[in-house]
Structure 1
């Protein structure tokens, strides 16, 4: 949203003086946290006690009132975040922010989240509909009862929140589905690369997962060249960075000091201010039941956490649930299907624009889904060869019961009920780990995952011809055949977005699994300790050793150490243990070298396109060094080492195709890349490499939307810190490859939870910002230093109102 910077700067400049004068009024935007508020909606009195960390402990006599109060506290603390999220999903940002967000609105109107949410609402069961409506009533009760100013962002932008509706919650579910689904981006990227590269070259950039086999690609290069691939990629966004995903693991009592299971979870999502997650404890004072964990402001569900009997955590499975279909036009109003021409379904979307003219967007849909070309500013210019791109995606089904599944899951008392709840969960597919107080552990990965035809050689890797029936989805994997485990031998389950099925699994899920570095290291550390406790689990979550660095650094050292000027740096890399600490120079040197070396390998072949493919291809880099003539000291591979790629295809990258008279080698490129690294870092941080620090460059930025775009306001809204870790450490931190934000981190553990099933009140939590989204609140950023420093806190349930409560508010029903 960088394009809104200019007008926001102008508005902010006008408003700043008013803010200073009206500071007292602005502080009235903070919610009332003590006393009694009388409201229409609750069935009985509700108590909201806030502990020292700002976590609400809600006590009510019914599930209905707990839903109501959840909506109320979400609105108290995260009103602007909720407003921004729903407007984005509904394609209504331009009503609030003007013409600069029109491209975003066109995209989301084309996807049709509002239309799909409305159709899903009609098919939901009565209990789920009641829960969503009661939650919305709680949000709206706060909007009606709050008498002070709105949060500062509303005043800066000049807008007011509209009443919340259940449809808004369902749209928010779609938004999360989008953020956790990336296959369509890889499809377009591969297709774009095939217009320039051979299939063999493409397989070195998108290598086959170790142990897997892939069929050859069909010859469709000429069709791909006719598609608006570059424009479409710019609209939907490039590849998700390595490390986006999550960690979770669970061990049985045979592996713990207490004799009961331990479970850990830390989802890796974009880190923003405020956080995407909101911590909450719900207490039913009629049944005595407790529910503790995190949910999304905008939804009544506790997504991750524990009740009194079980604990659970998610990581993203990332199956291939998105397929682009190339639709062949027949005239102006039809497209070709296996049965012949068929008319488009037309949907007209009116986009209101603040400070500009309204825009009427005509969206076409095929039997597969919306035509994404229609979201482009001038789609007609791309139809020269009679093709358009339509998106089929499980999130765009007319029916979606995921919210029902999440609500039921949080109230499960055993694994059977946990799996039964999962059958209502349509997606995004998650690796769900489970533990209960009886000592059981389990795993389930429920969702709608498409089944593809045996003759479909594309298998979701590229856009497919929409007029050929063999590329159509053949239904979905049956829920009772989705991956699951219960009390597995060895008493250990761990996932980190890597491949979760064996060679004997009968269904195709994806070919874009994450590299197994994190997963392998988690399992290695779990196996290395005989009996675990909370302390050993926190140590694993905080681990910042990169097995990718441990694999590559010795190869880099061997490739560059023959140069006398690089001998000392090479020796340091060879001796380094891969710890990505903020106060060490080796991580900075390695990442800068990786960047220079990959550019030397790929930029000549890709030309101007390389700027869009800077994500580090560590298996390609490793393979070029592995097959080079360098000295090796290891006899057997370590547990973390990945198999090299095909030698001939890999080594072909080393010669610069733009230098006819010279044939470069990988070793010469490696040395030159290290020289460039030392020269560049010396100019930036001084000539003594031992004084360089990873944390000088590796800065975490938790941006605020949209006020991080305003230079003199961003420091008051966003949170930043030097940070260790990297994309391949268990304690993940992003490493940007963009020229404008090189090495910057914008994602990581968006929440941490560690659950002790011997006493669930001993469970530990960490949160990267604070509970409040209002920068005037003491709880806007108070949890950030704890999260940064690896400090956890508890959320105990022995008292309905914690003895250390800082605030107690009673919601009383109007009579």
Structure 2
């Protein structure tokens, strides 16, 4: 079978895909891609020598390729984990570190230069190098990274000896260098950027320039117009401001290093100098051109993740239960590599991240945890004051200061080597000089001991140890959901929530000193919940606190989700007493569109008494029968989805046209669509509570109300669907317009999965975001049902397989389970059944 699949892969590669050129001489037997066929073979019981081990380690594989690693120490445990990640994911590891190091063009050629320039400007490599320099070699994190690195390099060394490189290296002739601890931290930075770096102020600058400041804030307010459900309802405490360490990607610290204690928030000072909105808009357009050209996996895009916990009477048996459902770009191979780890120090099972030691999401003998993105604003853009009279300098704190310059060489496969100079101000790297010299202060550039925190979480025995560990987690800012065998539940928002001295940080701020980041929200004041009286907590990227929270954490636009998934989750949890693991699984696969349940009664009321043609009446009849679920074979979903988007367009597009909003600069967040959470929230709130809002009346048009706009949008939706799907609304099912796809990291369609007709939309709990062909959604589903201290049953699945080799039977193993809403047992090392595939890793020379 491996030989047959390899042959098909060869045929597909013949024309070249992604970074891989047409094969040419690589088709010669005994060379090129032929040598990678061995990587498709499944493991068999054998003994392998691994230099650096202190004692033998056993690795037992189950039938799906999930390894259980048992070692006598953490050093040996993490060395074995590094070896496994390299053995089954080496191409992925190399591509990820190249992305963060700005070395993709060395493999991909000129097409990746934009990405390399951006990442070297942003400073992911500089941050990783600083984090490693600050990591004590004998600390748990230092030892783990060193051991993990030995494991990765053991496999690279074997490949250099036997020549059986993965195809991408054989075909390009570019082979991976030795792994270093910095590489693991670079991969950590890449994930941080994808979850934490946002372009919100750039979009705000463009809206202010086109729509005007007042309308921008009316339609994209700080606090959402609709009602939402925070997981931390208060009461809240204002604990002042916690200091931040130096930003290693600046010409100096944003805030002087200070004792690790909170300080009173400084009183705002009067700013000097006026911003240049036109120049900021020009800079924003230039930057958005760059950002939107980057691979989707490198930038934060959609706010989709779920996690919820329940205990007491809400759970069958009265203990505690956790569901984890983080949403990321779905790729083959996946971000995740499932593993069970066991040593005298560490005993955890779950999802590890290729490139890092430990388990990121999962459980140990005492606790379980999962993650959602906090969605706060972690990126602040600064408009620096420069002058031709002061070349290479910027004005800050009433004086001119020289920019610090860092220079890089970028090798380009098939092209000329590029030289890049990056200038740094006190705020951070300068990322454009078009229209306005702009720098960026990003919390991901402040060193964070995330690995040390992760290793401590893996070992935590109770909520106090879990929460204590998270106090040192800084970036990306995440909501950590928690449940334990003692029946306790909680959610902790861990990470830096930056605070500025003055100004509106959702716009670019002047860089003259009056608006600088002065610190962060103290950990004890961040959003948190523990054992609430209603026995349930849900985090689904909604704003985690109410409007009376004393700190700024972000706006309604491109920061927090619009609350529909959270509302549906709470609706389910609070209406189902004594829930079982099966109930949690049902909720993870739920396809109810909560917004549809809220809006459709108002649409039907608007259409009542209206003269409809036969097709419009048939479409309305379909909606009358529809249960608001976005299931593939059910009619109704396309009518609702098309109507809502047409309702948005009918209301807002005339204003966009009048203002000439340059939507081509950011089609996700400048274009009128359901991808703009603020507009969805506005339209929902106006429909329910303010149907005469002036926004419904187009510029220069006759007075119009929400029912008028709804009738227009409904007629438009029926007309569009008639053209696309035929004349019978009863046949307008969701699977005719909506698909899911899990693309290959190589961008080769044939090496991915799908597109296939699929369920869900961006607001269903079983989320499908990224357009009508969704490539973004549940990347790992997990349910942990605690029976008592030290006793739990757990299940999990992710859309992919353990091997990155397309010819391997373990390439797509879990996709059928994930697609059908099923999971597999998530076992601790001690509970794994006997295996017929066991490696004994022994100390070698």
TM-score by length of 2: 0.84
Distance 1:270 1:625, change over 3 A: closer
Does 1:327 pair with 2:414?
Answer: no
Distance 1:16 1:176 in 2: 33
Q: Tell me how far apart the structure 1 counterparts of residues 767 and 546 of structure 2 sit (CA, whole Å).
A: 26
Instruction: Write out aligned runs for 1:600-611 (5 A).
Output: 600=650, 601-602=652-653, 603-607=656-660, 609-611=662-664
Partner residue of 1:655?
698
In structure 2, the CA distance between the partners of 1:28 and 1:194, relative to structure 1 (3 Å rule), is: same
Aligned partner of 1:756 in structure 2 is 785
Task: Determine the structure 2 residue equivalent to 1:467.
Answer: 512
Distance in 2 between the 1:366 and 1:647 partners?
48
Are 2:183 and 1:168 equivalent residues in the alignment? Answer: yes
Given the alignment of the two structures, is residue 429 of structure 1 paired with residue 459 of structure 2, yes or no?
no
- What are the superposed Cα offsets for residues 210-238 of structure 1, whole Å, 9 maximum, x if unpaired? 4799x9x9985644456321120121239
Shift of 1:577: 2.5
Partners of 2:535 and 2:739 lie apart in 1 by 38
| 1:394 paired to 2:451 | no
Q: C-alpha displacement at 1:752, in angstroms? A: 0.7
Cα displacement string for residues 569-613 of structure 1 (whole angstroms, at most 9, x for unaligned residues): 123224432101111232112222333343343142354623422
Tell me what 2:750 maps to.
715
Is the aligned partner of 1:571 residue 2:621? yes
Aligned position for 2:256: none
State how far apart, in whole Å, the 1-side matches of 2:285 and 2:429 are: 18
8 Å contact from structure 2 (residues 347, 458) kept in 1: no
Distance 1:678 1:550, change over 3 A: same
1:797 and 2:797 equivalent? no
Instruction: Give the structure 1 partner of residue 154 of structure 2.
Output: 141
Partner SS for 2:49: strand
Q: Which residue of 2 aligns with 1:525?
A: 572
Deviation at residue 393 of structure 1 after TM alignment? 0.9
Residues 351-393 of structure 1 deviation map (CA, whole Å, 9 limit, x = unaligned):
11111111111110100000011xxxxx5xx25xxx3110001
Distance 2:368 2:407 in 1: 45
CA-to-partner distance for each residue in 1:697-735, whole Å, 9 max, x for gaps?
A: 211111112232xxxxx2233443221111111111115
Cα gap change, 1:506 to 1:204, in 2 (>3 Å): closer
Distance 2:226 2:622 in 1: 36
Count of residues in Structure 1 that have an aligned counterpart in Structure 2: 760
The answer to whether residue 562 in structure 2 is matched with residue 507 in structure 1 is: no
Q: Distance in 1 between matches of 2:730 and 2:691?
A: 37
Query: Among residues 118, 124, 131, which one is paired with 1:113 in the alignment?
Result: 124
Following superposition of structure 1 onto structure 2, how do residues 284-683 of structure 1 map, counting pairs within 5 Å? Answer: 284=343, 286=344, 290-330=347-387, 331-373=390-432, 379=433, 382-383=434-435, 387-397=436-446, 399-453=447-501, 456-458=502-504, 460-469=505-514, 471-511=515-555, 512-559=559-606, 562-565=610-613, 566-600=616-650, 601-602=652-653, 603-607=656-660, 609-611=662-664, 612=667, 613-614=670-671, 615-616=673-674, 617=676, 620=679, 644=689, 648-651=693-696, 654-655=697-698, 670-683=710-723
| 1:308-340 residue CA offsets vs partner (Å, 9 max, x unmatched) | 111111111122221000001033211111231
Alignment correspondent of 1:640: none
How many angstroms does 1:21 deviate by?
A: 9.8
From the superposition, tell whether residues 491 and 468 of structure 1 become closer, same or farther in structure 2 (CA, over 3 Å). same
Q: Which residue of structure 1 lines up, in the alignment, with residue 76 of structure 2?
A: 65
For 1:777, the equivalent position in structure 2 comes to 808
* Cα shift readout 1:421-450 (whole Å, capped 9, x = no counterpart): 112211111111222212222222221222
Matches within 5 A, 1:3-22: 8=18, 11-12=21-22, 14=24, 17=27
- For 1:790 and 1:111, how far apart are their aligned partners in 2? 39
Q: Is the 8 A contact 1:243 1:728 kept in 2?
A: no
Say which SS state the counterpart of residue 22 (structure 2) adopts. helix
| Distance (whole Å) between structure 2 residues aligned to residue 408 and residue 620 of structure 1 | 41
| Deviations 1:132-151 (CA, angstroms, capped at 9, x unpaired) | 11101101111112435222
Task: Quote how far apart the aligned CAs of 1:544 are.
Answer: 0.7
401-410 vs 484-493, greater mean Cα deviation? 484-493
- What per-residue deviation string (whole Å, max 9, x for no partner) do you get for residues 541-567 of structure 1? 111101012223333444456242212
Q: CA contact under 8 A between 1:273 and 1:719: conserved in structure 2? A: no
Deviations 1:58-108 (A, max 9, x none): 111111111001101111111111111110111101111111111111000
Structure 2 runs not aligned, ≥5 long: 1-14, 228-267
* Mapped contact 1:47–1:809 kept (Cα < 8 A): yes
Name the stretch that deviates more: 319-328 or 580-589. 580-589
Q: Say which of 187, 194, 203 aligns to 1:189.
A: 203
Contact in 2 for aligned 1:271/1:703 (Cα 8 Å): yes
Check conservation: 1:67, 1:131, Cα contact below 8 A: yes
Change (3 A) 1:320 1:354: same
Distance 1:106 1:195 in 2: 28
> What is the distance in 2 between the residues matched to 1:275 and 1:99?
26
Paired residue secondary structure (2:286): helix
Contact residue 305 and residue 312 of structure 1 kept, 8 A: yes
1:257 alignment partner, SS class: coil
1:11–1:157 contact (8 Å) kept in structure 2:
yes
Change (3 A) 1:686 1:137: same
Q: How far off its partner does 1:696 sit?
A: 2.2
CA distance in 1: counterparts of 2:483 and 2:19, whole angstroms: 50
- SS of the counterpart of 1:775? coil
RMSD: 2.9
CA contact (8 A) 2:341 2:829 kept: no
Whole-Å Cα distance in 1 between the matches of residues 698 and 486 of structure 2?
A: 61
Gaps of 5+ in 1: 374-378, 629-642, 709-713, 737-742
Structure 2 partner of 1:255: 314
> Residues 229-274 of structure 1, C-alpha deviation per residue, up to 9 Å, x if partnerless?
1120121239989853311111123322222210111001111111
Cα–Cα, structure 1 residues 222 and 249, in superposed 2: closer, same or farther, change >3 Å? closer
Give the 3-state SS of the residue equivalent to 1:444 in structure 2: strand
* 1:643-691 Cα shifts (integer Å, max 9, x gaps): 657954532xx4256xx7x777765654454444334333333222211
TM-score (norm 1): 0.87
For residues 520-545 of structure 1, give each alpha carbon's deviation from its aligned partner in whole angstroms, at most 9, with x where no partner exists. Answer: 21111111111011111111111110
Q: Distance in 2 between matches of 1:507 and 1:226?
A: 27
Q: Quickly say closer, same or farther: Cα 1:152–1:672, change in 2 above 3 A.
A: farther
**Is residue 562–residue 677 contact of structure 2 (8 Å, CA) maintained in 1?**
no
Query: Could you tell me how far apart the structure 2 residues matched to 1:64 and 1:200 are?
Result: 58
Tell me the equivalent position of 1:634.
Answer: none
Q: Shift of the alpha carbon at 1:506?
A: 2.9
Quick one: which of 210, 213, 218 aligns to 1:199? 213
CA distance in 1, matches of 2:317, 2:692: 50
| Superposition deviation, residue 497 in structure 1 | 1.0
Equivalent pair of 1:29/1:148 in contact (CA under 8 Å): no
CA contact (8 A) 1:726 1:735 kept: no
State the shift of 1:623 in Å. 5.4
| Maintained 8 Å contact 1:28/1:148 | no
Task: Report the counterpart of residue 131 of structure 1 in structure 2.
Answer: 144
CA contact (8 A) 1:72 1:138 kept: yes
Tell me the secondary structure at the aligned position of residue 811 of structure 1.
strand
Residues 1:765 and 1:599: Cα distance change in structure 2 (over 3 Å) = same
- C-alpha change, 1:691 and 1:157, in structure 2 (3 Å) is farther
Distance apart, 1:403 and its partner CA: 1.4
After superposing the two structures, state which structure 1 stretch, 192-201 or 96-105, moved more.
192-201
Partner of 2:844: 814
